[in-house]
Structure 1
């Protein structure tokens, strides 16, 4: 069950048809999920991959920007986005100790697709959150084949949520977390653009959880916490990817990425020292950016661009904040019970339990 199926509407905006990041035309999402025992170790991890356009990313770059709310996390490729403002590769999300192999595999895929790789280089964006309570993270079980599988599975339809892909072993507000998605479509008078969000939610304390502003976490404390005898509640991270078809320039993408902080705060997160809260936004609204193939001799000296005037950008900010808020709740609701290798339960939060907690707070 997703939030809206339970009658929970977050914010004032209207979701897209799928209420997912794939409502932004051209965006595709694929997962590769590992749920198995390997050499006696419990493996609960994976890779989630986002392709920003229908075509090859380097041939159809997007403007992009990022924001770090708290830096206890890692990502590759962000310095070039900061410098050039361009996203030229797919995005991938995985666990903390598998960033390297995912990055290297994406580079190899780029190399193998080029007629002359000597004249091109790439720095893929790969982000992470920590799944070490549920997954044998030190075993580094992600391999190139899992990146290839996520790439092959990438599609533009509904987005699988919960314990899939990179979100397989994640914990959110002391419940089973993982992948969540949502979107907002602006009315025609505000541009008619779509803002889509995907989160890998692995953060937050139970008692601070809020849904639509209601402090439901305080009414869920009787449910056993996986951190009772291990770790610290709130340890972990959240990655947020925001996509839009609005014509934004790189600095505007950065401003859009910053608004992820608001959605996280509305659900009761964003205050932990041990959390890596990293957000990236990309915009597909400029369709004619030069290919990021630096060996080409036919590139124009200049390119005509469009941009949303700042006087009209606020609805996009509101849409991003609302979609992040809803994506986090969707991630939690999609979670199902999972146990650690030593038998500690990480409980899923079912919809009826959430609704009862909300009624206790005065909701409806």
Structure 2
């Protein structure tokens, strides 16, 4: 019998389907045309479990120097570089880079290098870097992220299905009592006679009790020998992309729904959690914005895609032992709602 663990899979492969809307072909943020994702992973098998994830709207490499965007802060215990300018102007002019808390500032400097090389005529740029604290499993004080790591994630970004789980900025993260990481999902809907795609990508690292389709899954009950530990600095970064023609105010409404979706999977929204959502649109500027009274299907698409992205971030992650011998366990598939051992929970 093989001693290798079974491969980790996404929510839908386990029969966990969120909502009724169809997904895009990849069920990922990259289903939104022009949105690319790249990762750089640092994992030495011992004390370092960290990395970089870059969300790169290809439209910013063309004549468009900015995309309509908004940020919503669920709880501001974090270091989201560049957020106040998005709030002020309603414009995203940079790829979005995610990494570990104490590496956010080195990542921002590297992103400035990337932007200046591509805009030689500019005097200023607004790098956008989000973070969560992966110090439970990774030696965060070493600040191992270099400019090269960030540039590799940016330059290697592609439009395929992004890797999920213990990869990139999710390599050392934990959420809801279990090992978590990067997750993504998408939804498609027809709004005002036109197809609309919404995609979400999450860096999950927040507290609470994992809840799957209304069923609580506390780690201390479902994983023998485990003890619930709430690492300090738990947070969540959510990026929502869409091709719907929306303005910055409306994108703020989408970003708020993204934070609301964390509650569906059991988020505690604790004191030390930096919970942020960034929403942007790639729609051509010539299109008229959707009326507010037509946004309900888009709100549904956001909530469902974020919920499924969060579940994917957990279900695809593998158990990890990190700094100081701490261990974060993988979600046990046999205890999911509908499985034989958890059917009556």
Alignment of 1:337-348 (within 5 A): 337-348=319-330
The reply to whether residue 191 of structure 1 matches residue 194 of structure 2 is: yes
Aligned residue in 1 for 2:5: none
Aligned partner of residue 120 in structure 1, secondary structure: coil
Deviation at 1:8, TM superposition (A): 1.1
Aligned with 1:73: secondary structure? coil
Separation in structure 1 between the aligned mates of residue 130 and residue 76 of structure 2, nearest angstrom: 12
Distance in 2 of aligned mates of 1:199 and 1:244: 15
Shift of 1:337: 1.2
Q: How does 1:80-91 map to 2 (within 5 A)?
A: 80-91=85-96
Q: How many angstroms apart in 2 are the aligned matches of 1:155 and 1:334?
A: 20
SS in 1 for 2:276: strand
Q: For the residues of structure 2 that align with 1:226 and 1:145, how far apart are their CA atoms?
A: 37
Cα 1:138–1:218, aligned 2, differ >3 Å: closer, same or farther? closer
What corresponds to 1:297 in structure 2? none
> Could you tell me how far apart the structure 2 residues matched to 1:188 and 1:82 are?
26
| Counterpart residue number, 1:268 | 266
**Match status 1:145 vs 2:148:** yes
1:74 is aligned, of 79, 83, 97, to: 79
Label 1:314 to 1:283 Cα distance change in 2 as closer, same or farther (>3 A).
Answer: same
Cα distance in 1 between the residues matched to 2:316 and 2:250: 32
TM-score for the superposition, normalised by structure 1:
0.87
Q: Helix, strand or coil for the counterpart of 2:144?
A: coil
Q: Corresponding residue for 1:210?
A: 211
Summarize the alignment of residues 111-190 of structure 1 with structure 2, pairs less than 5 Å apart.
111-116=116-121, 119-187=122-190
Once residues 107 and 267 of structure 2 are traced to their aligned partners in structure 1, the CA distance between those partners, rounded to angstroms, is 28
Secondary structure in structure 2 of the residue aligned to 1:121: coil
- Equivalent of 1:354 in 323, 336, 343: 336
Task: Output the aligned Cα RMSD.
Answer: 2.2
5 Å-filtered alignment, 1:1-364, equals 1-36=9-44, 42-56=47-61, 59-116=64-121, 119-187=122-190, 191-205=194-208, 208-217=209-218, 220-225=221-226, 227-228=228-229, 232=230, 235-285=233-283, 287-288=284-285, 304=286, 306-355=288-337, 360=342, 362=344
Tell me, in whole angstroms, the C-alpha distance in 1 between the residues paired with 2:234 and 2:217. 21
Query: How many residues are aligned here?
Result: 337
The 3-state SS of whatever aligns with 2:211 is coil
Displacement, 1:15?
Answer: 1.0
**SS, match of residue 106 in structure 1:** helix
Query: What's the CA shift string for 1:246-285, capped at 9, x where partnerless?
Result: 0000000111000012210010104311111011100111
2:240–2:255 Cα contact (<8 Å) kept: yes
Gaps of at least 5 residues in structure 1 are 289-303
Shift of 1:313: 0.6
Q: 1 CA distance for matches of 2:218 and 2:178? A: 11
Give, in whole Å, the separation in 2 of the partners of 1:234 and 1:185.
36
Contact 1:169–1:178 (CA under 8 A) maintained in structure 2:
yes
Alignment match, 2:4: none
TM-score of the superposed pair, with normalisation by structure 2: 0.91
Q: Is the 1:174–1:233 Cα contact (8 Å) retained in structure 2?
A: no
Counterpart CA distance in 2 for 1:270 and 1:86 is 30
For residues 325 and 67 of structure 1, what CA distance do their matches in structure 2 show? Answer: 17
Contact 1:65 1:250 in 2 (8 A): yes
**Aligned-pair CA distance for 1:164:** 0.6
Distance 1:8 1:234, change over 3 A: farther
- Label 1:45 to 1:331 Cα distance change in 2 as closer, same or farther (>3 A): same
- What is the alpha-carbon distance in structure 2 between the residues aligned to residue 336 and residue 114 of structure 1? 40
Question: Deviation digits for residues 165-195 of structure 1, max 9, x if unmatched?
Answer: 1111000111111100001000366631000
Alpha carbons of structure 1 residues 235 and 43: separation in structure 2 relative to 1, 3 Å: same
CA distance in structure 1 between the aligned counterparts of 2:41 and 2:218, rounded to whole angstroms: 29
* Distance change >3 Å, CA 17–CA 170, structure 1 → 2: same
